[in-house]
């Protein structure tokens, strides 16, 4: 018997497509028809990272990947996977302030000042410190920083070893502040062993041998970044949590100051988010004028980015492992004199990623079709 040839309650049904093996076929007899619902593997699934908006993009450091340049750009790295210090030059005022402070306390620069300047003799340390700081400021001004004219006989900021230290330290500061690389990027771990699993770094135990920590990075596309903008001020006060119940997946919100779930459980993520948005509206309007607002939104923005990255990683994992299905609703007409059944219609619905969501979609589509078929019979 073929995989798509199934006998249900003495009815010989031959399906138009091959049902998946991990889930039984749903069936309901209505009059002289049998409504069947089942999942079938998607023949040519869409890549959600390429064909969808709002999912973001995932770039990997795998040796066979063609997205190395994009990942390096997102992380603020050069083509050798090292910090791209050239990016620091895009923040000249931060560089100037950091260099002046570091040079003023650097023994090598202080020694240069002693030999080439006019330091106060027999001065107390605080006066000497002030002199070195003034000299550092003047040195930067006279040479116009790193790109200026040669005013000191071939001596520039690069003549001092402290400059390299300043550059490296400032790169890390700017990177952590989101001023270098993509500010909304999220690091991903990659597990590979008879399949591949992408997950937000640190969110799963992984495996010491088969998991690459930070082996990929998620970056929002334009639509995803707009969604981060929308969620950020709301997530400054709380977050959306989820669990599986006997009825399926449910969502609720939890305020940051509360150790417990704050709301009731909702049947959709959107309902939970709208409830959180409404519950915090008065507080948001009040806090927008406070000094802490920018930092609150920054933390909320991070929560939103991680949430979207987690969803994108799960979708891409399903795609890479072939866990992409289509819901099929097929109707058979029964012969009045025997048990023969003939398929009179079969409808394939949009793709579903992951077995859990696919089964939930199948249940919903099958129930809708059964209700519609029942109404058609009753109206005759």
Cβ within 8 Å of residue 334, ≥6 positions away:
11, 32, 33, 34, 340, 341
Among 156, 176, 196, where does a domain finish? 176
**pLDDT, position 340:** 80
**pLDDT, position 176:** 92
| One domain, residues 29 and 114 | no
| One domain, residues 92 and 161 | yes
| One domain, residues 115 and 169 | yes
What mean pLDDT do residues 326-349 have? 88
With bands split at pLDDT 50, 70 and 90, how would you rate the model's confidence at 7?
A: very low
Note the pLDDT tens digit of each residue in 31-53: 888 999 999 999 889 999 999 99
What mean pLDDT do residues 243-272 have? 91
Whether 130 is in a domain gets the answer: yes
**pLDDT, position 141:** 87
pLDDT surpassing 90 at residue 356: no
| One domain, residues 65 and 104 | no
More confident residue, 96 or 208: 96
Entry pTM: 0.84
d(CA 304, CA 237): 12
Whether 59 is in a domain gets the answer: yes
Lowest mean pLDDT segment, chosen from 103-107, 207-211, 288-292, 327-331: 207-211
**pLDDT, position 5:** 41
| One domain, residues 299 and 211 | yes
| One domain, residues 70 and 55 | yes
pLDDT surpassing 50 at residue 149: yes
Q: Decide if 218 contacts 57 (C-beta within 8 A).
A: yes
Average pLDDT, the chain: 90
Cβ within 8 Å of residue 359, ≥6 positions away:
23, 39
pLDDT surpassing 50 at residue 1: no
**pLDDT, position 6:** 43
Whether 191 is in a domain gets the answer: yes
Sign of CA dihedral 97, 103, 104, 105: positive
Provide the domain count of the chain: 3
Cβ within 8 Å of residue 329, ≥6 positions away:
35, 36, 37, 346, 347, 349, 365, 366, 369
More confident residue, 148 or 28: 28
Note the pLDDT tens digit of each residue in 167-222: 999 999 999 999 999 999 999 999 988 889 999 998 876 677 778 889 999 999 99
**pLDDT, position 154:** 72
Q: Which domain holds residue 340?
A: 5-45+323-378
| One domain, residues 185 and 285 | yes
**pLDDT, position 2:** 43
| One domain, residues 118 and 155 | yes
**pLDDT, position 3:** 43
With bands split at pLDDT 50, 70 and 90, how would you rate the model's confidence at 314?
A: very high
Whether 260 is in a domain gets the answer: no
């Amino acid at each position: 018997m073929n995989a798509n040839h199934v006998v249900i309650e003495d009815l010989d049904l031959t399906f138009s497509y091959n049902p998946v093996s991990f889930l039984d076929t749903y069936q309901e007899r209505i009059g002289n028809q049998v409504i069947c619902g089942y999942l079938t593997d998607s023949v040519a699934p869409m890549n959600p990272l390429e064909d969808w908006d709002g999912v973001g993009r995932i770039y990997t450091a795998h040796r066979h990947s063609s997205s190395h340049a994009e990942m390096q750009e997102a992380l603020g790295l050069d083509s050798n996977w090292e910090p791209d210090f050239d990016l620091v030059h895009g923040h000249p005022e931060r560089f100037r302030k950091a260099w002046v402070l570091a040079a003023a306390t650097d023994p090598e620069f202080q020694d240069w000042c002693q030999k080439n300047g006019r330091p106060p003799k027999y001065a107390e340390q605080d006066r000497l410190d002030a002199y070195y700081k003034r000299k550092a400021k003047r040195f930067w001004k006279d040479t116009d920083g790193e790109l200026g004219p040669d005013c000191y006989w071939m001596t520039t900021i690069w003549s001092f070893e402290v400059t390299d230290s300043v550059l490296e330290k400032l790169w890390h500061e700017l990177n952590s502040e989101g001023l270098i690389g993509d500010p909304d990027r999220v690091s991903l771990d990659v597990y590979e062993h008879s399949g591949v699993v992408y997950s937000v770094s640190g969110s799963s135990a992984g495996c010491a041998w088969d998991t690459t920590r930070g082996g990929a990075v998620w970056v929002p596309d334009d639509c995803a970044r707009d969604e981060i903008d929308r969620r950020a001020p709301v997530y400054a006060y709380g977050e959306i949590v989820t669990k599986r119940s006997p009825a399926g997946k449910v969502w609720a919100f939890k305020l940051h100051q509360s150790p417990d779930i704050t709301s009731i459980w909702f049947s959709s993520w959107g309902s939970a988010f709208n409830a959180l948005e409404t519950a915090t509206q008065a507080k948001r309007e009040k806090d927008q004028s406070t000094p802490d607002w920018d930092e609150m939104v920054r933390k909320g923005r991070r929560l939103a980015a991680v949430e979207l990255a987690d969803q994108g990683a799960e979708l891409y994992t399903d795609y890479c492992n072939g866990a992409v299905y289509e819901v099929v609703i097929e109707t058979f007409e029964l012969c009045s004199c025997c048990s023969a059944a003939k398929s009179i219609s079969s409808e394939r619905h949009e793709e579903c990623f992951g077995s859990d969501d696919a089964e939930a979609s199948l249940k919903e589509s099958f129930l809708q079709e059964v209700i519609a078929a029942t109404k058609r019979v009753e109206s005759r």
